[in-house]
Structure 1
């Protein structure tokens, strides 16, 4: 495991952009952007873009694993929420990538998304 994932507040202040998702197409002009905060392994943040007007998440990080619950309001007026489990990958340039498996509440299907750090 890379030492960077042992950083106590690794994700604090980092921003990510969604680059792919099996749940929907990613708008290349206005992809979903995520802002992370972390303190001692507790994670929270917000996101917006693409089909999402406003979203929030909260969870925990243990080394290179993130466990989150999320909820958001879509541009069509519907709400969505669920849970996710992500793996943090460190890229050669020192940036981070998040590979996330997620499920919407009430849906048994597992989706996968990839987010890249905005550098």
Structure 2
């Protein structure tokens, strides 16, 4: 099993559709006893939170976010935790909005201290 996500900062490797998370978004993860949660902000996202569980290398969580235009949205995501050859962590995500239409996949990777 890959190491704990607690305290890691991750960022998307590519921009999603306009108005969604992108390469400027930063996710700060926390993990304890099978629970995972994170705060995220950056790009079009003013404030976002996610909360869920980890079982092995599988994360299952729901997310809510506030965008710069004052709208809110929420969805569900399942991610696989992958450890990269250089020791960083990657999450391979499959997500679906629940408050609006749309679904897709994305990849976020751990950023090093100088990239925060």
TM-score (norm 2): 0.86
Asked if 1:18 is matched to 2:7, the reply is no
User: Counterpart of 2:33?
Assistant: 40
Among residues 79, 88, 92, which one is paired with 1:99 in the alignment?
A: 92
TM-score (norm 1): 0.84
Contact 1:23 1:112 in 2 (8 A): no
In 2, the alpha carbon distance for the partners of 1:18 and 1:98 equals: 9
Alpha-carbon RMSD across the aligned residues, in angstroms, is 1.8
In the alignment, structure 1 segments of 5+ residues that lack a partner are none
Contact 1:51 1:75 in 2 (8 A): yes
1:55 Cα deviation after fit: 0.5
Contact 1:21 1:111 in 2 (8 A): no
In the alignment, structure 2 segments of 5+ residues that lack a partner are none
- Count of residue pairs brought into register by the alignment: 111
